[in-house]
Amino acid sequence: MSEFSFVSLFDKYLVFSLCKIVLSFGLFLHLASVFLFRDPNCPSPYELLECSNNINPPISSNPTNLSHLLFGLLGSQNAWHHRKNYIESWWRPNVTKGYLFLDVYPNSTLLPWSKNSPPYKVSKNITKLVQETQHVAPIQARMVHGIKELFDQEHEGVRWVVMGDDDSMFFLENIIDVLAKYDHNKYYYFGAQSEYILSNFWFSFDQGFGGAGFIMSFPLAKALAQDIENCLRRYPFLNSADLITMVCIVDLGFGFTPLKGLHHLDMRGDISGFLSSHPKTPLLSLHHIDSIAPIFPLMDRSNSLRHLMKAAKFDQSRLVQQTICHHRLSNWTFSVSWGYSIHIYEKIMPRSHLIKPIQTFHTWVKKPKSPPYYMFNTRPRVNDSCETPHVFFFKTIGKMKNKNEIWTTYFRSEARGLPTCSIDGNYPANYIDKIQVYTPRAKRTEMDRRECCDIIHTSGSNKAKIKLRECFTNEKIA
């Protein structure tokens, strides 16, 4: 029922009169603006729109590239000895711009400084400011102050300032592609919420959790850098760098925009369930590498990051993007997380079910009280023939000769150890041990829809092939 059905005749008349007044006044304002505030550079008042477009050229005329990004990584001398490998897996020496800020000078084990690491700076001694304000968290204050130190260091030609930790993995191509869609002359504060609901409640739902990386457009970074010492004086009682940063930004009149591809990873243990059902958005970062298990079985943390980067080097746009298709002859469902894993279910399952990560991981807080724990829906990890997938992990990658395709292979990590699912006809997938996936060489530029796929598998063969392609109009996976 329309809400207007309650309006009486009298009200209708009143509304009509009010409309007339508003309309007349609006017309007056419009004419006034046309004649009084005429832009001298514009040929005619009616071309104001086009004219202002000429003043601010469209973003695409000069696309954002890596040279426009400035990175500030906050770390400690102590942890750098092992975290150096994490950063070197994605940092491009002499190409990526930015600095690592250490608490103290590197000791002799770290010297000479690795050419594959970001150049380092030692954080400014802000003891005076900390003492003056009796700041409750000197280390956190040092981290916030790092934003100003980075900005003061270098900002010529910079469009975006990206802050992260010494255990943050960034996927540069994807970050560039995402940022290129926004106007760097405006004020943006991008970041990630915590995956753990209560962390957002304890700190803020409106802050970027630092390790995931938070990204500021140039004008915002500039405004924040100019105000940061004042802001540290305003909030000496706040004990979290990310929270202080957020309140400083809010005080300047700007607000937070979450990007779903940035991951603080406030989870523990095996996050393969999460990476196998990544949200439909480019992967931008991973964090908390030391708190999670290595992301590939039988590899240590550094090697598993390097392994993921092998796929990333070929195509970041598809990395961990989930594509689902059905093999109708066996009633199987394949769920591909490109460059990472494949799950086979012995049952037809809709996409809407499979986009929920299997809860292979544990909560950030060791003994949480009661759910909900996560900022997304999950599926429980169960031992059930029809719900438990056969799991395969990414092994090798290459380009097809003569064809515009990239191939990736995936191998079974371990036997599933369960009987066959009998619901959809009893077709065991136990003997499949290798899957090849073919994707176009061209990266995906429009991510508004997931891709679809076709499966080539002859009954009895231990191999399966999958070809990813754009979906047909109205094609549904259910």
Ligand X SMILES: *[C@@H]1O[C@H](CO)[C@@H](O)[C@H](O)[C@H]1NC(C)=O
Tell me how far, at minimum, the Cβ of 138 lies from ligand X, in Å. Answer: 11
Tell me how far, at minimum, the Cβ of 426 lies from ligand X, in Å. Answer: 8
| Among the listed residues 12, 30, 38, 81, the single contact to ligand X using CB under 6 A | 81
Tell me how far, at minimum, the Cβ of 61 lies from ligand X, in Å. Answer: 10
Q: Does 78 bind ligand X (CB under 6 A)?
A: yes
Report the residue count for the chain.
Answer: 478
| Among the listed residues 103, 251, 405, 424, the single contact to ligand X using CB under 6 A | 424
Tokens of 269: 């243990």
Tokens of 376: 């997304």
Per-residue b or e along 48-81, where b marks 16 or more CB atoms closer than 10 Å to that residue's CB: eeeeeeeeeeebeeeebeeebbbbbbbbbbebbe
Strand pairing category for 214-217 and 256-258:
unpaired
What's the Cα-to-Cα distance from 258 to each of 72, 190, 215, 263, 478, rounded to whole Å?
Answer: 19, 6, 10, 10, 29
Cβ proximity to ligand X, 161 vs 262, nearer residue: 161
# chain residues binding ligand X, by CB under 6 A = 22
What's the Cα-to-Cα distance from 468 to each of 42, 310, 326, 389, 477, rounded to whole Å?
Answer: 50, 19, 12, 20, 14
Helix H or strand E segment including 145? helix 138-153
Helix H or strand E segment including 77? helix 77-88
Are 323 and 452 in contact by the 8 Å Cβ rule? The answer is yes
Q: What is the CA radius of gyration of the chain?
A: 27
| Site string (12-51) toward ligand X, x via CB under 6 A | ----------------------------------------
Residues 317-356 that bind ligand X (CB under 6 A): 329, 331
Tell me how far, at minimum, the Cβ of 27 lies from ligand X, in Å. Answer: 44
Q: Does 109 bind ligand X (CB under 6 A)?
A: yes
| Among the listed residues 258, 279, 294, 425, the single contact to ligand X using CB under 6 A | 425
Cβ proximity to ligand X, 184 vs 318, nearer residue: 184
| Site string (113-152) toward ligand X, x via CB under 6 A | --x---------x-xx------------------------
> How many other CB atoms sit within 10 Å of the CB of residue 252?
16
> How many other CB atoms sit within 10 Å of the CB of residue 454?
13
* Segment lying near ligand X (by CB under 6 A), choices 9-17, 143-151, 272-280, 379-387: 379-387
Q: How far apart are CA 53 and CA 47, in angstroms?
A: 10
Cβ proximity to ligand X, 189 vs 332, nearer residue: 332
Cβ proximity to ligand X, 53 vs 65, nearer residue: 65
Q: How far apart are CA 231 and CA 228, in angstroms?
A: 5
Q: Does 108 bind ligand X (CB under 6 A)?
A: yes
Q: Does 422 bind ligand X (CB under 6 A)?
A: no
CA 8 to chain centre: 52
Half-sphere exposure of 58 (CA within 13 A, CB side): 4
* Segment lying near ligand X (by CB under 6 A), choices 163-171, 262-270, 381-389, 433-441: 381-389
> How many other CB atoms sit within 10 Å of the CB of residue 435?
24
Cβ proximity to ligand X, 2 vs 61, nearer residue: 61
* Segment lying near ligand X (by CB under 6 A), choices 41-49, 205-213, 311-319, 375-383: 375-383
Cβ proximity to ligand X, 128 vs 367, nearer residue: 128
Q: How far apart are CA 375 and CA 407, in angstroms?
A: 34
Q: Does 399 bind ligand X (CB under 6 A)?
A: no
Q: What is the DSSP code (8-state) at residue 374?
A: B
* Segment lying near ligand X (by CB under 6 A), choices 106-114, 229-237, 286-294, 353-361: 106-114
Cβ proximity to ligand X, 165 vs 451, nearer residue: 165
Q: Does 383 bind ligand X (CB under 6 A)?
A: yes
Helix H or strand E segment including 21? helix 9-36
| Among the listed residues 11, 46, 53, 93, the single contact to ligand X using CB under 6 A | 93
| Among the listed residues 24, 33, 107, 396, the single contact to ligand X using CB under 6 A | 107
DSSP conformation letters of 303-361: HHHHHHHHHHHH-STTTT-EEEEEETTTTEEEEEETTTEEEEESS---HHHHTSPB--E
Tell me how far, at minimum, the Cβ of 381 lies from ligand X, in Å. Answer: 5
Cβ proximity to ligand X, 204 vs 333, nearer residue: 333
| Site string (257-296) toward ligand X, x via CB under 6 A | ----------------------------------------
| Among the listed residues 24, 52, 67, 404, the single contact to ligand X using CB under 6 A | 67
**For binding to ligand X (CB under 6 A), which residues are involved?**
62, 65, 67, 78, 81, 93-94, 107-109, 115, 125, 127-128, 329, 331, 381-383, 417, 424-425
